[in-house]
Amino acid sequence: MSAAGRLQGMVAIITGGGSGFGESMAHAFAREGARIVLGDMNREAGNRVCGELTALGFEAIACLVDVSKSDDMAALINAALERFGQIDVMVNNAGMSHPNRPMLDVDEAFFDRLFAVNVKSLYLSAVHCVPVFRRQKRGCFINIGSTAAVRPRPGLTWYNGSKGAVTLITKSMAVELAPDNIRVNSINPALADTPLLTTFMGTADTAENRARFLASIPLGRLCQPVDVAHAAVFLADPASNFVTGVCLEVDGGRCI
């Protein structure tokens, strides 16, 4: 454990911390000295990452949470406060998508679930976390958006819209909460090598199909979880305390 980590002494909640970007952010934050609270609806995944962190000598707890449920979000915040006494960073990362398909083939129940997980979760994290940040007179939200909010691909219309909401909510929260010394930023990753990949591609994960997507990314590769983790560490770092309302593309140039 680094004694002079960039996030030394901080406490970070990471939703969806049991896989993909969330897992990578949890490791990167812990390496920089933060204590970690993982919130995931997959108990096994959350416990696995938590076990890996503690085995490395880091402090971490895992909570079973559905981010679309107010009671669960309240319990997550309370668990962080009970165990660590403070919250410095709230990473709203848990998210989902409908499989890539024509917009009218996504049914109403799926649409409602998608917006509950990807968008309502931001409302709920604000409801339960902003009062804590106001009491502390500091805090930082990092929301995981997507390049889908900037350069939408076909077949993902409702997912794209949910990430558009993440962008606007990020900027709007940033201006409204700035007087409270609360920063709000987001990260827009490009298509990444996580379990969500095939959902987004809508085709089999073959070299030929990957090549089609890679052709639209100037740096010529998919996003890796660690790319997002490095950007998140920057946004959480007190050294970026003049950065708010930013929706940072981590996309190899995809959005140019």
Ligand X SMILES: NC(=O)c1ccc[n+]([C@@H]2O[C@H](COP(=O)([O-])OP(=O)(O)OC[C@H]3O[C@@H](n4cnc5c(N)ncnc54)[C@H](O)[C@@H]3O)[C@@H](O)[C@H]2O)c1
For the annotated catalytic residues, the residue numbers are 159
Residue from the set 6, 10, 12, 16 that interacts with ligand X by CB under 6 A: 16
Quick one: which of 38, 41, 177, 217 contacts ligand X (CB under 6 A)?
41
* 161 counts as binding ligand X under rule CB under 6 A: no
Residue 116 phi/psi, 5° resolution?
-65, -40
- Distances, alpha carbon 51 to alpha carbons 27, 79, 86, 147, in Å: 11, 17, 22, 32
Cβ 180 to ligand X, closest distance in Å?
Answer: 25
Tell me, residue by residue from 45 to 84, as one string, x for binding to ligand X by CB under 6 A and - for no binding: x-------------------xxxx----------------
State how far the Cα of 178 lies from the Cα of 18, in Å rounded to an integer. 31
Q: Based on CB atoms, which residue is closest to ligand X, 42 or 240?
A: 42
- Return the number of the residue (52 or 180) whose C-beta is nearest ligand X: 52
Report the alpha-carbon distance of residue 137 to residue 216 in Å, rounded: 42
In degrees and rounded to multiples of 5, residue 13 shows phi and psi of -95, 135
| Closer Cβ to ligand X, 10 or 76, answer by number | 76
Distance CA 51, CA 62 (A): 9
Contacts of 92 (CB under 8 A, 6+ apart): 15, 67, 121, 122, 125, 141, 142, 143, 144
- By CB under 6 A, tell whether 155 contacts ligand X: no
Residues in contact with ligand X by CB under 6 A are 15-16, 18-22, 40-42, 45, 65-68, 93-96, 117, 144, 146, 189, 191-192, 194-197, 200
